[in-house]
C-alpha cells in the first residue's frame, strides 16, 4: 500500500499587501518534508503516524506552510501543486493537510483546483483532507475528496486530532472497504473571525451540535466558519458531514446543523467599537481594581489574518489619550530596525516608525509617525515557545529592537509576528506583568498565554486589512446578497447543495 501524504497551508487575505512568494512557505521536499513533519502536532504528523502504523509505503513530496498574507504568487502555487501531483502516479490513497482558504494569482480555488488535478491522476484512489476551521469550502473540494474533516477549535489546538480523524476514516476505506458519503451545506453568511471562537457563543453551540451528531452516528461533522477576507465567490460558513453509506442521512445532518447556524446568524457578526472609545474604556479598566495589564488587541492588524503589523493607529490613539506604561508591538519595520541597530543601544533617536506599507486596495496610505526615544535593547529576535500552541518551536523574528519613548516601550522587528508566547517581550528584557497596558497585534492566538496574566481585554480596531468592518473592503467577486453585508430582506438560506 502506497500513500501520498503532503501539506500545503495558506489562508489568503486577498486585500493584504503582504506578498506570498515561494520562500514564504519555507517548503521542504521528499525526505526533508518527512523529517520536518514526523512527530509534529499537525494533521500531516497524524497522517504519517497512521500510515506507518499500517505498514504503508509513504510518499511525502512536500510540506509547505505560509503565514496568512496576500494572494499566493502564481509560480509558487504552481510549483507546490506540481510537487504533489507529480508524486501521485502509482499511489493507492492520498492524505492532504490543507487549509481550505488558499487563493492564488492563478486560482481562486487553490485547494479545489489542486484536488481536481490529483483526482485526474488517481481517479479511483480515496482522498482524505484535513482542513482549518476557517476554510472556504467549494464545490470542487467536495467533488474530489472522499473524506473531509476540519478543526473543531479556535484557537486551534486540535490539528493532530483532526488529521487522525480524517486519516482513520481513510484507513477504514482501504482496509474495510467502507464507502463514505460526503455531504455539505454552505450558507450565504460571511462570518467575522472574532465570532469563530469555539469557546463561546453561536460558534461554540454549532461545534457542540457537530459533536452530538458524531455521537449519534455520523463519522465526522465539521463546522467551517470560513475566512471572509477573501474576495472570492463564497467566503462563507459551511457544514460538512461524512457518513457511513447513507447520503440522505448525511445531507439531513448537514441541513439540520446549517439551519441552527442560520437561525443564530447574528451571533457570527462582530460590531467594531470606535477606536477612541476602546482606548478610553481601557484607561478606565486600568484604573480599576485587579492586577495585571490591560490587553489592547489590535485585531485590525493581525499578522495571522494577513495584517502588515505596521499599522500605528492604536498606539497613536493610546498616546493621544495620555496612556502610559505601555509595551507595544511587535511593529514590523525593517527600515526602522536597520536605523536603530546602526544607532546602537543607549542612543537617543527620532525617526519614523510603522505606517510604511500602503493598504492600496482599501485606499489607505498612512503617514509614518515620528517616535523619539532611546534604543533600550537590541536582540536577534529569537525565542522558544513554551506553549500551549507550537510548544518547543523556535521563533525567528529577525533583528529586533526595543525603543523606549517614555510612555511606551515599542518592540520593532524585521518580520510580522504573532504573540505565541510571553517570550516575544521577555526575550528583549520587557516584563509583561510590570506593564499597565500590553498592545498586541493579535486577535486570538495570544489569548491562551496573555489572558491569564491580564486584568482585562479590550479589542481595538485600528482599521487595517484584518478589520471586522467589512464595509471598508471593496469586494468585487463576492456573490450577493450575503449576510451581513446586505439587508436581510429577501435573503434566505439556500436549498441543500
pLDDT tens digit sequence for 285-316? 999 999 999 999 999 999 899 999 999 999 99
The pLDDT, as a whole number, for residue 391 is: 79
Distinct helix (H) and strand (E) counts, the chain: 13, 20
pLDDT in tens, 392-410: 888 999 999 999 999 999 9
Q: Give the H or E element holding residue 260.
A: helix 247-263
The per-residue pLDDT for 86 is 98
- Cell digits for 437? 497596558
Residue 69 CB: number of other CB atoms within 10 A?
24
Residue 440 and residue 295 in contact, taking contact as beta carbons nearer than 8 Å:
yes
pTM confidence score = 0.94
Residue pLDDT, tens place only, 234-243: 999 999 999 9
Question: With the C-alpha atoms ordered 43, 48, 54, 57, is the resulting torsion angle positive or negative?
Answer: positive
52-56: list long-range contacts, CB under 8 Å, 24+ apart: 54/1, 54/171, 54/174, 54/175, 55/1, 56/1, 56/2, 56/3
Residues of the chain with pLDDT > 70, as a percent, come to 98
Looking at residue 326, its pLDDT comes to 98
Percent of the chain with pLDDT over 90: 94
Instruction: Tell me the per-residue pLDDT of 149-193, one tens digit each, with 9 for 90 and over.
Output: 999 999 898 999 999 999 999 999 999 999 999 999 999 999 999
Q: d(Cα 261, Cα 190) in Å, to the nearest integer?
A: 12
Confidence of residue 490 (pLDDT cuts 50, 70, 90): low
DSSP string covering 117-173, please?
A: HHHHH-SSS-EEEEE-TT----HHHHHH-SEEEE---SS---HHHHHHHHHHHHHHH
pLDDT in the model for residue 324: 98
DSSP, residue by residue, 328-382: EEEEE-HHHHHHHHHH-TT-EEEEE-S--S-BGGGTB-PPPPEEEEEEEEEE--E
Mean pLDDT of 41-50: 96
**Per-residue pLDDT, 497:** 47
Element at 287 (helix H, strand E)? helix 275-287
User: How confident is the model over 244-271, as pLDDT tens digits?
Assistant: 978 999 999 999 999 999 999 999 999 9
The Cα 136–Cα 227 span in angstroms is 6
Task: Report the C-alpha gap between 351 and 374 in whole angstroms.
Answer: 11
- Spatial CB neighbours of 259, under 8 Å, sequence gap ≥ 6: 493
pLDDT tens figures, 334-386: 999 999 999 999 999 999 999 999 999 999 999 999 999 999 999 999 999 98
pLDDT at 493 over 70: no
Distances (CA, A) of 311 to 297, 364, 381, 396, 414: 13, 11, 20, 21, 14
Cα–Cα distance between 353 and 412 in angstroms, integer? 9
User: What average pLDDT is seen over the chain?
Assistant: 95
The helix (run of H) or strand (run of E) holding residue 83 is helix 74-86
pLDDT digits (tens, 9 = 90+) for 193-202: 999 999 999 9
**Measuring CA to CA, how many Å separate 213 from each of 323, 440, 454?**
49, 38, 37
- How far apart CA 175 and CA 56 sit, in angstroms, is 12
Could you tell me which of 107, 173, 105, 114 has the C-alpha nearest to residue 144?
114
Q: What is the pLDDT of residues 93-108, one digit of tens each?
A: 999 999 999 999 999 9
Per-residue pLDDT for 430 more than 60? yes
d(CA 142, CA 78) in angstroms, rounded, equals: 21
Average pLDDT over residues 449-470: 95
CA distance 469 to 474: 11
- Cis ω before 481 (30° cut-off from 0): yes
Residue 222's beta-bridge partner residues? Answer: 240
Amino acid at each position: 500500500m502506497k500513500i501520498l501524504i503532503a501539506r500545503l497551508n495558506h489562508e489568503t487575505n486577498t486585500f493584504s499587501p503582504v506578498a506570498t512568494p515561494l520562500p514564504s512557505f519555507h517548503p521542504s521536499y521528499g525526505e526533508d518534508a518527512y523529517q520536518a513533519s514526523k512527530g509534529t502536532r499537525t494533521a500531516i504528523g497524524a497522517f504519517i503516524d497512521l500510515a506507518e502504523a499500517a505498514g504503508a509505503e509513504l510518499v511525502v513530496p512536500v510540506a509547505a506552510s505560509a503565514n496568512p498574507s496576500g494572494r499566493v504568487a502564481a509560480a509558487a502555487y504552481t510549483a507546490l501543486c506540481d510537487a504533489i501531483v507529480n508524486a501521485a502516479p502509482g499511489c493507492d490513497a492520498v492524505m492532504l493537510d490543507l487549509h481550505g482558504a488558499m487563493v492564488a494569482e492563478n486560482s481562486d480555488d487553490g485547494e479545489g483546483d489542486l484536488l481536481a488535478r490529483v483526482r485526474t491522476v488517481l481517479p479511483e484512489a480515496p482522498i482524505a483532507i484535513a482542513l482549518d476551521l476557517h476554510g472556504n469550502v467549494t464545490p470542487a473540494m467536495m467533488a474530489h475528496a472522499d473524506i473531509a474533516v476540519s478543526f473543531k477549535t479556535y484557537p486551534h489546538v486540535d490539528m493532530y486530532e483532526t488529521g487522525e480523524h480524517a486519516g482513520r476514516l481513510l484507513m477504514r476505506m482501504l482496509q474495510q472497504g467502507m464507502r463514505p458519503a460526503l455531504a455539505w451545506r454552505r450558507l450565504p453568511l460571511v462570518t467575522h473571525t472574532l465570532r469563530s471562537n469555539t469557546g463561546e457563543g453561536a460558534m461554540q453551540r454549532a461545534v457542540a451540535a457537530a459533536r452530538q451528531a458524531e455521537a449519534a452516528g455520523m463519522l465526522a461533522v465539521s463546522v467551517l466558519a470560513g475566512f471572509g477576507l477573501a474576495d472570492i465567490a463564497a467566503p462563507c460558513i459551511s457544514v460538512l458531514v461524512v457518513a457511513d453509506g447513507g447520503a440522505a442521512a448525511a445531507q439531513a445532518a448537514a441541513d439540520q446543523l446549517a439551519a441552527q447556524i442560520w437561525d443564530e446568524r447574528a451571533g457570527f457578526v462582530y460590531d467594531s467599537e470606535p477606536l477612541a472609545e476602546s482606548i478610553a474604556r481601557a484607561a478606565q479598566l486600568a484604573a480599576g481594581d485587579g492586577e495585571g495589564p490591560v490587553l489592547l488587541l489590535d485585531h485590525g492588524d493581525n499578522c495571522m489574518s494577513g495584517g502588515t503589523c505596521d499599522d500605528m493607529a492604536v498606539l497613536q490613539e493610546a498616546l493621544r489619550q495620555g496612556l502610559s506604561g505601555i509595551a507595544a508591538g511587535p511593529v514590523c519595520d525593517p527600515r526602522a530596525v536597520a536605523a536603530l541597530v546602526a544607532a546602537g543601544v543607549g542612543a537617543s533617536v527620532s525617526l519614523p516608525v510603522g505606517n510604511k506599507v500602503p493598504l492600496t486596495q482599501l485606499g489607505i496610505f498612512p503617514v509614518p509617525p515620528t517616535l523619539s526615544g532611546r534604543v533600550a535593547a537590541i536582540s536577534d529576535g529569537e525565542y522558544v515557545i513554551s506553549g500551549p500552541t507550537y510548544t518547543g518551536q523556535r521563533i525567528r523574528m529577525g533583528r529586533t529592537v526595543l525603543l523606549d519613548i517614555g510612555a511606551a516601550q515599542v518592540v520593532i522587528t524585521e518580520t510580522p509576528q504573532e504573540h505565541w508566547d510571553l517570550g516575544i517581550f521577555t526575550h528583549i528584557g520587557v516584563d509583561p506583568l510590570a506593564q499597565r497596558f500590553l498592545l498586541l497585534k493579535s486577535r486570538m492566538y495570544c489569548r491562551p498565554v496573555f489572558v491569564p496574566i491580564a486584568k482585562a481585554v479590550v479589542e481595538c480596531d485600528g482599521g487595517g486589512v484584518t478589520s471586522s468592518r467589512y464595509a471598508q473592503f471593496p469586494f468585487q467577486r463576492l456573490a450577493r446578497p450575503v449576510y451581513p453585508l446586505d439587508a436581510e430582506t429577501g435573503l434566505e438560506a439556500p436549498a441543500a447543495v
